């Protein structure tokens, strides 16, 4: 009986360590995709007139600087 309980405890310990890794494996690619989408939308602003870009509170160099960042950089 002790062995079964001991195995159950060690198996549960492994699962609690795998849980956060699984969360990272799912959430990290999702965050990367969101960054790619936002950066594409930002780069789309470059085709707008200057007054619209100024209304957003950015300038063209800020948009370009953020838009060319790799997806893994925050």
Q: For residues 45 and 52, is the Cβ–Cβ distance under 8 A?
A: yes
Q: Per residue in 24-66, pLDDT tens? A: 888 899 999 999 999 999 999 999 999 999 998 999 999 999 9
Is the entire prediction scored with pTM above 0.75?
no
- The residues near 40 (Cβ < 8 Å, ≥ 6 apart) are 67
Task: Name the token pair of 11.
Answer: 């198996």
């Amino acid at each position: 009986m002790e062995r079964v309980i001991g195995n159950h405890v060690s198996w549960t310990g492994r699962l609690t360590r795998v849980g956060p890794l699984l969360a990272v494996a799912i959430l990290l690619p999702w965050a990367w995709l969101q960054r790619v989408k936002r950066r594409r939308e930002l780069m789309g602003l470059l085709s707008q007139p200057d007054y619209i870009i100024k209304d957003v509170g950015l300038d063209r160099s800020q948009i370009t600087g953020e838009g060319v960042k790799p997806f893994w950089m925050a």
